[in-house]
Amino acid sequence: MAKVTLKQFGNRQFGGAAGAYGNTTTLKFALQTGANGAALNADSTAAIAAGDVVDLGPLPEGMRLDDMSMLISTGMTATITGSLGFAYADGVDSTEVPQDAAYFGTGLNLATAARLRAAAAKALVTLPKPARLILTTAVAANAKASKIEVLVSGELQGAR
């Protein structure tokens, strides 16, 4: 299992006011792969393999994770699935809100063009510290160009 970190800059979108504590927010993350199956604009040029963890980018401390929408405009190699969740940036778990590599869903079909929504019936969480959005692939290695965009929505409630 390898870890692939994407280099994304300027892809954040902050929305309007919500309640007394923060702002509604949508963060956009994009994963594109080249013809060899490797993530573009990443720290690795190897094709994404089954079991690889793709670090899509940062989730800020104090963000309540409300929902996720994934747009797969060009799917990965047939049969590839994935889990989408979060891991803490410092690598240290939290007893208050344990990191969860499948918070938004598992078994997500990454091979077929579609729009997917959060598929896990889990309680809302507010991140107690900075985290990373992670996609863990399964079943097969990617061997083709693909394009996947992920929107994570929630409310920025500030540091606790």
Residue pLDDT, tens place only, 82-132: 999 999 999 999 999 999 999 999 999 999 999 999 988 899 999 999 999
Q: Which domain holds residue 110?
A: 3-156
The count of structural domains within the chain is 1
CATH number at residue 84: 2.60.120
Give the pTM: 0.89
pLDDT at 15 over 60: no
Vertex 139 angle, CA 109 and 136, to 5°: 70
Count other C-beta atoms under 10 Å from residue 108's C-beta. 25
